[in-house]
């Protein structure tokens, strides 16, 4: 389990009051964990601060709403973690 996932899982657990053991890399933030859009903005703020990045939530939401990408691509935690890692790498490059 990556350190990024541990950090993200900790943020979700604390922000959305979800028991840490329920949060796995396969969890879908919306479908499995029941996180609504406002709660996800709180989580995004904590992630932005923790990693020094800006999650492009508006772009992701638009792509999902327009059918250009499945929601799983962004909101299953292992995929979210991979995107966080990519954003951090891009920032450091």
Partner 1 sequence: MRLEYFEMIDQVTSLDRDAKRIEARSTVPMESPVFEGHFPGHPLVPGVLLTETMAQASGYLVLGLTDFSHMPFLMGVDKARFRTFVPPGTVLTVTATLEHEGSGYAVTKAKIMTEGKPVCDAELRFRIMPFPDGMDSLMRAQGKRIGLLGETA
Residue found under tokens 């933030």: 29
Kindly identify the residues of this chain, within the stretch 11-70, that bind partner 1 according to CB under 8 A.
38, 41-42, 44-45, 48-49, 54-59, 61
Tokens standing for residue 25? 């890399």
Tokens standing for residue 77? 């935690």
Q: Which is nearer to partner 1, 57 or 82 (CB)?
A: 57
**Shortest reach from residue 11's CB to partner 1, in Å:** 14
Tell me how far apart the alpha carbons of residues 73 and 83 are, in angstroms, rounded to a whole number. 9
The site for partner 1 (CB under 8 A) is made up of 38, 41-42, 44-45, 48-49, 54-59, 61
């Amino acid at each position: 389990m990556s350190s990024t996932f541990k950090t993200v899982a900790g943020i979700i657990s604390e922000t959305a009051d979800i028991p840490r053991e329920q949060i796995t890399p396969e969890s879908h933030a919306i479908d499995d964990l029941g996180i609504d859009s406002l709660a996800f903005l709180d989580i995004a703020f904590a992630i932005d601060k923790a990693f020094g990045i800006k999650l492009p939530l508006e772009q992701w939401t638009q792509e999902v709403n327009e059918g250009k990408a499945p929601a799983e691509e962004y909101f299953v935690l292992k995929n979210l973690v991979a995107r966080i890692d990519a954003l951090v790498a891009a920032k450091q490059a």
